[in-house]
Chains A and B, each alone.
Chain A
Amino acid sequence: MTRFVLTLLSLLLYSQVASAHVSGGLAGGFYSGFLHPILGWDHVVAMVAVGLWGAFLGSPAIWLLPIVFPLVMAIGGALGVIGIPLPAVETGIALSAIVLGAMVAFAVRPPIWIAAVIVGAFAIFHGHAHGTELPTAANPLAFSLGFVIATGLLHLSGVAFGLLTRWPAGTTAVRTGGAIISMVGVAFLVGIV
C-alpha cells in the first residue's frame, strides 16, 4: 500500500505543460472566441435551450432557429463592437434561459415566425456580450468565428438531446431539461450563481 501511495505521489511530479495563457494570433483569437460561450453557463443553457426548442417544434424550426440565432446574434455583436450600450444585457441573457427553457418545459408550440422572433430577440443580448470582447481579441475574425461556431455546436447539442422527443419517455426527459434550464436561468437572474 505504501508503495502504491508513493507511486501515485511520484506521478504528481509528472506534470504536463500548464497552458495557463491563451496564445496570440489566429489560434489564440479562435481559441478565446470558441471558449467564450462555452465557459459562460448562462450562454450554455440558453444555447442548448434554442436547440431543444427547435427539435421539440420539429421541422423547419429544428434548423431554422439555429440559423436565425447566429445571424441576429451578429447584429447584437455589432452593437457591442460599435459601443452602443444595450440595457440589462446580463438580465436579458438570464431571461433567455428562463423563457426558452419554459417554452420547452410547457411544450409551447407557437407559429414558426413567433419562435424565430423570440429566439432572435434574445440572440441580440448574447451577441452584445460577445461583441464587447471582440475589439480586444488577438484576431477579431478568428474570435468571431470561434464564438459563432461554439454557439452553433451548443445548439447542435440541444438539437441532439431534443431528438429524444421521438419517444414518449424522451419527451418527458426533454421537457424536464427545459424546466431545469429555466430554473438555472432564474438562479442567474436572482444572482444565486
Chain B
Amino acid sequence: MTPAVRRTLALALCLGPGAAWAHAPIKGIDDFYNGILHPLFVPAHMIALITLGLLFGQQGAQKLQYAILGFLVSIVAGLIASGLYTPSGMEVPLLLGAMTVGLLVTLDHPLPTWLYWGLALLLGLLLGVDSSFETLRGSARAAALFGSGVGLYLLFLYVLVLAERFGKRQWQRIGLRILGSWAAASAFIVLSLLFAPQKDNQLPQPPAVSQLSDS
C-alpha cells in the first residue's frame, strides 16, 4: 500500500466515525433525576420557562429579585397542590402564558412590578401543578416532584442569567426580542390546534413518567 493510499484511507476513516452511544440518557435514571429532566421533555414547560427567564433577564434580576423568589415559592406550591389534584389540559394556559410573556419580551418595555409578580406566580403554579407524576407513589413521587422543582427553577435561572449577562448591548437586546417573537409565534400556532378540524384538535400531551424511565 502506497503512502498516498494509506493517507487516503486514514483520512476517510477519520471522516466516517460511527455513533458513540456512550450513555443511555433515559434508561435506569432514578426518580429524582427523572424529575429534573421532566421540564426538558415537556415542550410547553420548556417554552414557558424560557420566555419567563428571558423576560426577567431582560428587565433585570436586581429589580425583580423578590419576584424571582416568588416564582420558586409558586412552583413549590404547585407541586404540593399536584399531590392533591391531578389536572388535565394544562397545556393551554401554559402556552397562553408563554405567548403573552414572549410578546412582552418582544416589546421590551418596562412594566409595573406587580405584573412580573403575577406572571411569576401564575406560571410557577401552573408548571408545578402540571408536574404531577401521578403514576408514582410514596417516596418515589416525592423524589420526582422535588427533582421536578429543581429542574424547573434551574432552567428558569439559567435562561435568566444568560439573558441578563448577554442582554447589555443593543444588538444583544434585539436578539432577546427576536427570541421572544419566536416563542410567541410557536405558542400561538400550537394554540390554534384547538380550533383545528377533525381529531387534530388535540394538543401534545407531556410524556408519562413511565415513558421516561424503565424503572
Contact = CB atoms under 8 A, between A and B. Distances in A.
B2 interface: yes
B204 A148 contact: no
Interface in A93-152: 127, 131, 134-136, 139-142, 144-145, 148-149, 152
Nearest to A81: B192
B176 to A, nearest CB: 11
B120 interface: no
Q: How large is the interface on A (under 10, 10 to 19, 20 to 34, 35 or more residues)?
A: 35 or more
13 contacts: A3-B5, A7-B5, A14-B13, A17-B19, A70-B181, A71-B106, A78-B191, A78-B195, A81-B193, A83-B197, A140-B203, A140-B204, A144-B185
Contact of A63 (B41, B177, B187, B203): B177
Contact of B182 (A7, A140, A149): A149
B189 interface: yes
Contacts of A67: 106, 177-178, 181
A131 B12 contact: no
Interface in B23-70: 41, 43-44, 47
Contacts of A152: 178, 182
Q: Which of B1, B8, B181 has the most CB of A within 10 A?
A: B181
Interface in A1-42: 3-4, 7-8, 11, 14, 16-17, 25-26
Contacts of A140: 189-190, 193, 203-204
Interface of B is mostly: helix
A4 B191 CA distance: 58
> A-B pairs with the 3 shortest C-beta distances?
A78-B192, A135-B200, A74-B185
B174 interface: yes
Given A74-B188, A82-B197, A141-B204, A16 B18 contact: yes
Interface of B: 1-2, 4-5, 8-9, 12-13, 16, 18-19, 41, 43-44, 47, 95, 106, 174, 177-178, 181-182, 184-193, 195-197, 200, 203-204, 207
Nearest to A16: B16
B192 A66 contact: no
Contacts of A141: 43-44, 47, 95, 186-187, 190, 204
Given A81-B195, A82-B196, 8 more contacts: A4-B5, A67-B106, A70-B181, A74-B189, A82-B197, A127-B189, A134-B193, A141-B186
A14 B8 CA distance: 14
Given A11-B12, A144-B190, A73 B5 contact: no
Contacts of B191: 78
A145 B181 contact: no
A131 B192 contact: yes
A77 interface: yes
Nearest to A136: B200
Given A139-B204, A142-B43, A70 B195 contact: no
A70 B187 CA distance: 12
A82 B200 CA distance: 9
A11 B195 CA distance: 53
Contacts of B204: 139-142
Contacts of B41: 26
